[in-house]
Amino acid sequence: MFLWNFITALLTGTAVCAWAGYYSDKLPEISAVLGGGGVLVWATMAFMVVGQERQDAFRGWVVAKIIGQRAFTLFLLIACLGLMVIANFLASVEVSSVAEEGGHSVSIYRLGVNPPEKPARLDPAQPVRSVVWTSWFSPTTIVIKVPGYPQKFASVAPFHRVAVFVPASLRIPVLLFRPTQLLADVVKDQSMKLELQDEHGSRLAEPVPFDGDAILTGGDDEINIPSELEEKWRNEVARRPDLLGRWRTPIAPKELARLQPAEKQTILARILLANNQPSDPKCPSAKVVVNTLRSNRPFLQEVVLDVCR
């Protein structure tokens, strides 16, 4: 009985440490808990002041009264079953950064809840892992947010570790719909909306309010605007600093946050009136083909909206 219980306890502890080392970054803390949280260290030091005969007597008592008992076997059985059940509701996300990127902050949270107040520090030499609750029947959708990049959405199932690499995994097409100076003046305070359709005329998302601000799809307002794009805008509206300010701080409506178009996809943009009818049914405000992502090309693509002529 003693040998069975001892081997079972040893294998259980090893399995827990292996799981923690692969799925989380809390292995030192978990190892400390399995090691008695320092109690065993103090016990070892205490044993040094007693004689060998008393040490042998105590070890014999532990073997006979604890490890060698059927109650301890039952405890191990319940612990193993409990750990197996819990493991079937756990998964993790691992975020790594290449050396050339330097340090970042990263937030990992469930879709539909607020992001953590303090993002985790992401260094090239140390990936960030986050354990999440999930299930086989309803995998949890996780949001991975690194400032300056689009949000990454990942569905995680039990016993899976989703790997995210910065910046490769975060380079997804992001569209920035920006009105011309004329269109911005036309739609101001007119309660109009922007509707996005695919090439077959099907809506890609619910229409969003549009009053002349720049609008982002597939991201949030923390995405960096390329400096060359800002310089282009500065030259275009040199006498309208109000417009430049609205374009440099685009709006990221929640209706478009998860709209991440595919490469080479054709998208039509239409301006809708207050009654959700197109301002000009025969003329879209813009038609764009999503760029193919390349390492030397920004993932953010500008789409200019203009009045129908």
pLDDT-derived band at 162 (thresholds 50, 70, 90) equals very high
Residue where the block lists tokens 């199932």: 157
| pLDDT value of position 33 | 66
- Cβ atoms 110, 132 nearer than 8 A: yes
pLDDT tens-digit readout, 97-138: 876 566 788 999 998 888 888 898 888 878 899 999 999 999
pLDDT tens-digit readout, 242-280: 888 888 888 888 888 777 777 788 888 888 876 667 666
pLDDT tens-digit readout, 271-308: 887 666 766 655 667 788 887 777 666 778 888 888 76
| pLDDT value of position 111 | 87
Tokens of 183: 């269109």
| pLDDT value of position 135 | 92
**CA 276 to each of CA 164, 245, 270, 279, 284: distance values in angstroms, whole numbers, following the listed order:** 39, 28, 10, 9, 14
Decide: pTM greater than 0.85: no
pLDDT tens-digit readout, 15-52: 888 888 899 887 777 776 666 555 555 666 666 666 66
Three-class DSSP category at 32: helix
- Domains delineated in the chain: 2-85 (no CATH), 90-170 (2.60.40.1120), 174-305 (no CATH)
Query: What is the pairing mode between strands 215-217 and 174-179?
Result: antiparallel
- Cβ atoms 189, 211 nearer than 8 A: yes
Query: What is the pairing mode between strands 174-179 and 300-305?
Result: parallel
